Amino acid sequence: MAEARAAKKKTTPGQKESIRPLISANRIQKRIRALAKEIRRDFPGERLHLVSVLKGGVFFLTDLARSIPGEVSFDFIAVSSYGQNTRSSGQVRLTRDLDSSIEGRTVIVVEDILDTGMTLHYLLSLFQQRKPKHLRVAVLLDKPERRIAAVRADYVGFSIPNEFVVGYGLDYSERYRNLPYVGILTLGSALKGRGTE
């Protein structure tokens, strides 16, 4: 239903989208290097298996993976969620599963943003059933004000206010993912706090 949500947000003629920079490319890179160190410090000498959620988490995963010393492998998963009015984690659906088993592995779920928490809540219960050795969560951005599901990330890049952000993997109707920085997208008040996959 990402499409349905995104469709609601299409620009109408006369409306002007604008992006106000929130976190610079430099700050993002610096913070990721610090997170990578922290993760390696928590699991010295272990092979870390990074699992990212397509597509938004991919930029974060590739930069994080390159900053973690030692052995790292990764895999991808894709989900779709059902609209903004959903109140239960059962409303998230898996559209692409992992290629390999996570049993006995030290798994770090790498996500672009933790918003309502429904996606992560769903993924964490799914992964827990697969018996990883450790299961941790790294998110670049956290919007604590929007939380519905009881989940928290172990590694957080930046805590941000309840604004719709784009860039560094985050999109608005599949656009702006390629921006090297994170910015607040404004398109009238209708955008506030909305998310897409």
Q: Binding partner of residue 106 among ligand IMP, Mg ion, none, CB under 5 to 8 Å per kind?
A: none
Q: Where does this chain bind Mg ion (CB under 5 A)?
A: 53, 56, 112
The count of C-alpha atoms lying within 13 angstroms of the C-alpha of 195, restricted to the half-sphere facing its C-beta, is 24
> Strands of 182-186's sheet, edge to edge?
18-23, 182-186, 165-166
Query: CB 62 → ligand IMP: shortest distance, Å?
Result: 16
Closest distance of CB 113 from Mg ion, Å: 7
Q: What are the DSSP E strand ranges found in 17-129?
A: 18-23, 48-54, 72-81, 92-96, 106-114
Rounded CA separation 48/54 (Å): 19
The nearest distance, CB 39 to Mg ion, in angstroms, is 20
Taking residues 74 to 113 in sequence order and writing x for each that binds ligand IMP by CB under 6 A, - otherwise, the string is: -------x-----------------------------xxx
142 binds, among Mg ion, ligand IMP, none (CB under 5 to 8 A by kind): none
Distance, in Å, from the CA atom of 20 to the CA atom of 186, rounded to the nearest integer, reads 8
Residue 114 near ligand IMP by CB under 6 A: yes
**Contact in structure between 126 and 94 (CB atoms under 8 Å):** yes
165 binds, among ligand IMP, Mg ion, none (CB under 5 to 8 A by kind): ligand IMP
Q: How many CB atoms lie within 10 A of CB 190?
A: 10
Q: Is there binding between residue 167 and ligand IMP (CB under 6 A)?
A: no
Q: Pick the catalytic residue from 42, 97, 112, 115.
A: 115
Q: Least CB distance from residue 27 to ligand IMP, whole Å?
A: 17
Answer for which of 119, 142, 155, 182 binds ligand IMP (CB under 6 A) is 119
Which CB atom, from 106 or from 119, has the smaller least distance to Mg ion?
119
Q: Do the bridges between strand 182-186 and strand 18-23 make them parallel or antiparallel, or are there none, so unpaired?
A: antiparallel
56 binds ligand IMP (CB under 6 A): yes
Kindly state the helix (H) or strand (E) to which residue 135 belongs, with its residue range.
strand 134-142
Q: Which is nearer to ligand IMP, 106 or 196 (CB)?
A: 196
Provide the terminal-to-terminal Cα distance of the chain, rounded to the nearest Å: 9
Active site positions, annotated: 115
